[in-house]
A and B are shown apart, each in its own frame.
Chain A
Amino acid sequence: MTTATIRRGSGLGFAMPAMLLLLAFFIIPVAGLLMRSVTEPEPGLQNYAALLGSATYAKVFFNTFFVAGLVTIVTMLIAFPVSWALAIMPSRWAAILFAVILLSMWTNLLARTYAWMVLLQQTGLINRSLMALGLIDQPLQLTNNLVGVTIGMVYIMLPFMILPLYGVIKKIDPAILQAAALCGATKAQALRRVLLPLAAPGLASGGLMVFVMSLGYFVTPSLLGGTANMMLPELIVQQVQSLVNWGMGGAAAFILLVVTLGLYALQLRFFEPKEGR
């Protein structure tokens, strides 16, 4: 008896419950929302014209991409040395550092954001410490602006960058770096010409993931960023919840969806290993 005769059917039936759930409560609702962007208040593309044509919304788009880009760059700058160190440090230290990373990653998002709101406020620990050290005379404005969002978001995104990057660096053969040294490369040269290019796929893939996730974040930007730094997800919520303008909300959601899925497709196309099956 072969495997094929033991199992009857193709197994597609097993996927049915999950497929039906996603169809009814994911695909149809999202499609419905997007439909409303071209049917409300009247059929046509006027919602998109309004979104893409006004300076107010242009600022929201700019903010969204700017914050996501800034968060991605800062996250990469911290994550690269840390992932590199994790890949080579004694395993006991690495285990401790991994535990810290996982703990922060799984700590409630609101709890973390609340902590940063308190830490960064005018009378918060950060301002008080800086003043006690004599570095500043007046408390700095650290919340409700770009500084607050960036700190809060980098905090959230670091694990998502470190974990994949660590995987890439760990797979690099140390002999290649030894070869670079034998050929006379200094440490700086070996870093710039050998290690960084070899780690580049991990940086690009992790960076793209952090960028996409940052584009769609709602909680942290709305609590730490303030209204002056509104991002696309906040605009969607504002349109739907406060203004009950489903047409505009749907249009903004569609734009966010297209950008997200486009970047995700890019990620799959270039960075995911092709499956052997």
Chain B
Amino acid sequence: MLLDFNKLGAWRWILGAICAAMALFLLLPIVFIVALSFGSSRWLIFPPPGWTLKWYEDLFADPRWIEAALTSAKIGLIVMVLSVVLGLLASFALVRGTFRGRAVLRAFFLTPMVLPVVIVAVALYAAFLRLGINGTLPGFVIAHLIVALPFAIITISGALETFDPAIEDAAVLCGASPWEARLRVTLPGIRHGLFSAAIFSFLISWDEVVLAIFMASPSLQTLPVKVWTTLRQDLTPVIAAASTLLVALTIILMILAALFRKGKSE
């Protein structure tokens, strides 16, 4: 009755209305930001009195925004590669390993995800000040890798669990070396997991702000840090333009990930 949509009667409309209201609530800020970024009002009046590309022009005319975006992309790509490689190795150990305490190790690998990121940020900030790598590219990469790795491990070990190890064994029995079997049989078999892990790792680094605030220096900052510092001064529509580009990138990456998932199920 309650779990049969067609027999809910009037309750169906109540549930439907709640879902519609929530969907509007979730979409409102995203649609609003995109609209504002094309609106001509400096004071963010909505609906805007006219339409303009001025904020995008301002954004692209300011080398600091461009530089921040390039830094974000560079850090994101390095984190993506390292996170997938380390995540793949760790997943092999967790899923195919025979040593004791794998469950404990898995919990250990996932702790950075559980702990409030502000604690990790402050702790790394202190350590990096001592090591002298605060405000450097390696500092950013290490900090983002710590929080991206758990997601890569979850995704890749999930893919590895559904891949039958007997296929790898068969390759070995047919004369492949264990490494050959892993690289040429297992890796292609879990490529969807690897791809999702890569996208997640990149997005986590690209969007991350708390660690980045602590790692940033006046000469090196990521896009979220630039948004953060600008945001604290005033709510200029240039941020709406930057945010719109971020939303667009997220949608593109999500569609890519969805396409890959579709390819997997077919």
Give me the interface of A with B, judged by CB distance under 8 Å.
1, 3-4, 6-8, 10-19, 21-22, 25-26, 28-30, 32-33, 36, 78, 81-82, 84-90, 97, 100-104, 106-112, 114-119, 121, 123-125, 128, 155, 158, 169, 172, 174, 177-178, 180-181, 187, 190-191, 194-195, 212, 215-219, 223, 233, 236-237, 240-241, 246, 249, 253, 256-257, 260-261, 264, 268, 275, 277
Contact = CB atoms under 8 A, between A and B. Distances in A.
Contacts of A28: 127
Query: Which residue, A18, A158, A216, has most C-beta atoms of chain B within 10 A?
Result: A18
A128 B203 CA distance: 35
Contacts of A223: 231-232
Interface stretch (B29-37, B49-57, B61-69): B29-37
B123 A30 contact: yes
Contacts, number: 275
Contacts of B253: 106
B185 interface: no
Interface in B169-207: 169, 172-173, 178, 203, 207
Nearest to A250: B122
B126 A261 contact: no
**Which of A101, A107, A181, A215 has the largest number of chain B CB atoms within 10 A?**
A107
Contacts of A102: 254
B33 A115 contact: yes
A104 B122 contact: no
B235 A119 contact: no
Interface residues of B, number: 91
A155 B2 contact: no
B118 interface: yes
Nearest to A88: B5
B116 interface: yes
A86 B22 CA distance: 12
B151 interface: no
B159 interface: no
B12 to A, nearest CB: 9
A78 B15 contact: no
B80 interface: no
Given A11-B92, A25-B143, 4 more contacts: A11-B93, A115-B32, A194-B2, A260-B114
Q: Is the interface of B mostly helix, strand, loop or mixed?
A: helix
A87 B19 CA distance: 12
B2 A195 contact: yes
A236 B121 CA distance: 10
23 contacts: A7-B98, A11-B98, A15-B105, A16-B89, A18-B149, A26-B120, A26-B146, A29-B127, A30-B115, A97-B23, A103-B27, A103-B30, A109-B207, A111-B29, A114-B231, A118-B235, A125-B46, A155-B29, A178-B1, A187-B9, A216-B119, A253-B122, A261-B114
Nearest to B29: A115
Given A10-B99, A18-B89, A260-B115, A108 B149 contact: no
A113 to B, nearest CB: 8
B207 A108 contact: yes
Given A218-B118, A237-B118, A18 B29 contact: no
**Which DSSP category, helix, strand, loop or mixed, fits chain A's interface?**
helix
A125 B122 contact: no
B263 interface: no
Q: A89, A101, A110, A256 — which one has the most chain B CB atoms within 10 A of its CB?
A: A110
Nearest to B16: A85
A180 B1 contact: yes
Interface in B188-231: 203, 207, 209-210, 214, 224, 227-228, 231
A109 B125 CA distance: 22
Contacts of A260: 114-116
